[in-house]
Structure 1
């Protein structure tokens, strides 16, 4: 059995002359929480719709839970829970009644245990207190949780969630994140499409970045961060000596005057912030500090700045990123 819950090769969707999704190769490990990142309009939702068989690909292949889609739609979809483009419910029915209707539409669901499944799903998402409340009176956060409850009516090996915290207040966002963490802790693979940086950094083990229909990077969250440009910063009144020491360690430096400081002998001096790019195999920070001190550099401040997820996104796509939590 494949160790990938989702695998695509050259997956493409064109609308006329426009390629909404352009030859992407996704690799989502089983048990991962995979953050599918990109600004609105980058092709994320179209990709999800192809994975679920809702849209036919123009070219390429997609395998979900080891089976090709949409060829094996009937055997794959019962193992997948999905929330795509927000939940839609009959507003005049209660939350429980809405779930019973969805459950009745599933030919794989046994009618005799429907009530127990609905009650369990509502309890799982924290809506046991609102089973009789009309869905039209639910808050946006409650509707999102009801949508996730619908995805959990049957046991699922994969959850596909498209912008699950979109439009939620901070409390609703925290509730949905806690739910996703609980699914992952049980071994369910979760594929989360989002344009929110905080959501991905707090939830995901793996990341894929879309830009203008193309997958420009993917890997573990830590690999993604490490692949960015990290820098070392030294605050010192001896910028010339500091640059010489850092260059001797193989680091490329630059410098800019920053602020006045006492030089340790009672006289003010101008400190400079000397920065250097850390390459693929840099010396450890303590070795850099030791070399600076041995080179008679007065170190007033020292820091290693790792590349953030936002920086990596900008480096890869040249676009801004919505970092609202």
Structure 2
């Protein structure tokens, strides 16, 4: 497998060191150093084709790394997969089922393949997994009649048949309607609250922002940023204030006097903390700004403090656009 990862801190559920996967001359994954904290909901973010699924396949032993190493739940992979995989639930590259069998029958066959799962409690496990993903009403329906979203939920149910320390979900909201998306988001949060680490690969920025505590950003096979969601937002630059007012010139002058860098934005004035340098200087408190504007005779119709978004950070890192909604 190449260079092994030195034993790392046990607080990491996933750890990679210079993980590389080549297909011929193409580097699908290029020297990636991931650090996924235990108990996190970790968003693995990037456009389609950025190397996310290939990385996941290597972590699960479905592909071999060309160079570098990885540890999952404290065990080096692929050497320790026999000990690791029973503690990992995964949904990768979309679920596949027997179309002429029901959802229940498919899960029963899947559970039978798990030599660690006692047959005496199989029916209970399958029922509980279907209930968790909201498919109890369709348990007896043949999978060929399932919508794409229902198949996606059934795949997640398969990953939840046994208790898991780590859930790896590749595009878990693919094909789901808004209600189904909310249910999956709630499910992910509940799994993390129960102590599991959830590793969510997605190209949907809005979903990652709403469900994840930590984020890594991939671009063209390389890891360009990672950290907590708050850290990545802060690294995108300074916060800004938006003032809606008919007195744009007077508002801009007062904001500049307070050390902000104002610019017109339609019927508002947008001003970034940190002045012309654009650094992350905290600047005056919002209430101080409002008092100063009113004292200067500015008619304030609206006032908001806007933090840097993950989308802005992504664009700054990669220069690419992004899917921000389904």
TM-score by length of 2: 0.87
Q: Deviations over 1:25-62 (max 9, x none)?
A: 11111111111111100111011111111111111111
Q: Cα distance 1:26–1:137, how it changes in 2: closer, same or farther (>3 A)?
A: same
1:299 positional shift: 5.1
1:65 positional shift: 0.7
Paired residues of 1:236 and 1:273 also in contact (CA < 8 A)? no
1:273 has 2:269 as partner: yes
Q: Cα distance 1:297–1:257, how it changes in 2: closer, same or farther (>3 A)?
A: farther
**Aligned residue for 1:313?**
314
The one of 196, 199, 204 equivalent to 1:188 is 196
Higher alpha-carbon deviation: 223-232 or 145-154: 223-232
Q: Report SS of the residue matched to 2:173.
A: coil
Higher alpha-carbon deviation: 121-130 or 61-70: 121-130
Matches within 5 A, 1:111-122: 111-122=119-130
**C-alpha distance in structure 2 between counterparts of 1:238 and 1:124, whole Å:** 53
**Aligned residue for 1:324?**
325
1:112 positional shift: 3.0
1:152 has 2:148 as partner: no
**Aligned residue for 1:267?**
none
Paired residues of 1:236 and 1:274 also in contact (CA < 8 A)? no
Structure 1 regions of 5+ residues with no counterpart? 260-271
Dislocated runs of 4+, deviation >4 Å: 241-250, 290-294
**C-alpha distance in structure 2 between counterparts of 1:255 and 1:104, whole Å:** 64
Matches within 5 A, 1:1-325: 2-229=10-237, 230-234=239-243, 235=245, 237=247, 239=249, 246-247=255-256, 249-251=258-260, 253-256=261-264, 258=266, 273=269, 275-278=271-274, 279-280=279-280, 281-292=282-293, 296=296, 298=298, 300=300, 302-325=303-326
Structure 2 regions of 5+ residues with no counterpart? 1-8
Q: Report SS of the residue matched to 2:29.
A: strand
TM-score by length of 1: 0.87
Q: Cα distance 1:78–1:233, how it changes in 2: closer, same or farther (>3 A)?
A: same
Q: Cα distance 1:258–1:123, how it changes in 2: closer, same or farther (>3 A)?
A: closer
Q: Deviations over 1:148-191 (max 9, x none)?
A: 11111111001000001112222322232222222122121111
1:88 positional shift: 0.3
Paired residues of 2:169 and 2:201 also in contact (CA < 8 A)? yes
**C-alpha distance in structure 2 between counterparts of 1:238 and 1:321, whole Å:** 32
Q: Cα distance 1:186–1:257, how it changes in 2: closer, same or farther (>3 A)?
A: closer
Q: Report SS of the residue matched to 2:225.
A: strand
1:244 positional shift: 5.9
Paired residues of 1:51 and 1:64 also in contact (CA < 8 A)? yes
Q: RMSD across aligned C-alpha pairs, in angstroms?
A: 2.3
| Larger of the two Rg values belongs to structure | 1
Paired residues of 2:293 and 2:300 also in contact (CA < 8 A)? no
